[in-house]
Homo-oligomer: A and B are copies of this chain.
Amino acid sequence: MADRLLPTLRDVANAAEVSVGTASKVLSGASGVSAARAQRVWDAARQLGYRRNGIAADLRRGRPSSIGFVLPDLTNQFFVDIARELENHALEHGYQLIMAHADEDPAREMERIRFVMSRQVAGMIIIPCRGYEHAIKEARECNVPLVMADRVDETFPANTVTTDSHGASRDGTAHLIALGHRRIAFLVNTLDLVNSKERADGYIDAMRRAGLDSFIQVVECGMTAAEIHASTLDVLSAAVRPTALFAAGNVTTLGALRALRDANLRLPEDISLLSFDDAPWMAVLRPYLSSIRQPVEAIGHAIWQLMLKLLSGERGEPAHLTFKAELLVRESTARVPEDVLALQRAQAAARR
């Protein structure tokens, strides 16, 4: 022990008067050691306060015991939910999840991926952020099992698990249209994110199908609360403002709500709001927000299953799993009020 802070396996072996090999066997739970000596080892370990050095063990064994998970935003409930799912699955299967946070910053994402890789993880799960191309190249080149989720599409040359964003968005838009809305603004953080792009496309698709091409309004709001707030305020202060807002995500919805509040518009009397992504706090709003809920459990489970398969050595064509989201019609989406419609008609007529 001497001056070292932590006792090592050798210290334990010495104290128990056995060889390091024997001590190792005992402490790593392998069989083939007599009960008496095993007890001696346990005692010595306890007495010395021995802690096994996991990185040394992994290094020696060559088979790491942890899985890396890089997520883009800890503020986004959806990602956090996925993290919890993954963590539970990983722990259940004897793996440790080592989480890293990219904070929606491609440069940091790169750093984080490098770090996690340098920890010699057995596999990597990544929900990328915008401009992630370099980062992902980095990850792919490491030859470790890689599963990408959420912000990817099927063109990606790796295993992916996603929500059917296009379909969900189309359905959501159709719901608004069915309520009589025409001027529906689609608020999205950025079209640089594949899934955001898909959500926007789903919206556009639905609008086109309904013959509402001329009412299509996709607004790129940005990633930060301040940007989203400002953009939405812009939209709301237009001469003729939309009768419904469709926010493409968790965070965007929050920003939109803030703007709605500032503009003093009531939900759903003055304007309807549909949120892509559900979140706990939405339940306490009046009105209760209508939203699109992604099947977090299923997604988390699928990601993990894919990872397990890869871990077991199966390679081959990458799989692309997609899940359907659920439209939750609650109170924030309503029929367009007659007076608003009348006003709009009048304005349109006047302009002609």
Contacts and interface: CB of A to CB of B under 8 A. Distances in A.
Contacts of A51: 114, 117-118, 142
A194 interface: no
Contacts of A254: 280-281, 284
A310 B56 CA distance: 25
B119 A55 contact: yes
Interface in A75-96: 75, 77, 80, 83-84, 87, 91, 96
Contact of A101 (B52, B83, B281, B288): B83
Interface string A109-149: 00100110111100000000000000000000111100000
A280 B115 CA distance: 30
Contacts of A54: 115, 118-120
A280 B225 contact: yes
A101 B84 contact: yes
Nearest to A101: B87
A257 interface: yes
Interface string A239-263: 0000000000000001001101100
A294 to B, nearest CB: 17
A58 interface: yes
Contact of A52 (B56, B100, B118): B118
A26 B321 CA distance: 43
A219 B53 CA distance: 44
A298 interface: no
B101 A141 contact: no
Contacts of A91: 108, 111
A91 B141 CA distance: 24
Contacts of A100: 99
A208 interface: no
A219 to B, nearest CB: 18
A68 B5 CA distance: 17
Contacts of A53: 59, 118, 120
A103 B84 contact: yes
B55 A59 contact: yes
A101 B181 CA distance: 44
Contact of A56 (B59, B101, B114, B257): B59
Contacts of A118: 51-55
A119 B96 CA distance: 11
Nearest to A53: B120
Nearest to A256: B284
Contact of A6 (B143, B279, B283): B143
Contacts of A143: 5-6
16 contacts: A5-B144, A6-B143, A51-B118, A51-B142, A54-B115, A55-B119, A74-B83, A74-B84, A75-B80, A83-B101, A84-B103, A98-B98, A254-B280, A257-B284, A258-B284, A260-B284
Given A91-B111, A281-B281, 16 more contacts: A51-B114, A51-B117, A53-B59, A54-B119, A55-B59, A56-B59, A75-B77, A84-B101, A84-B103, A87-B101, A96-B115, A119-B119, A257-B284, A258-B283, A261-B286, A284-B285
10 closest A-B pairs (Cβ-Cβ)?
A54-B118, A257-B284, A281-B281, A55-B55, A5-B143, A74-B80, A99-B99, A96-B115, A49-B141, A55-B120
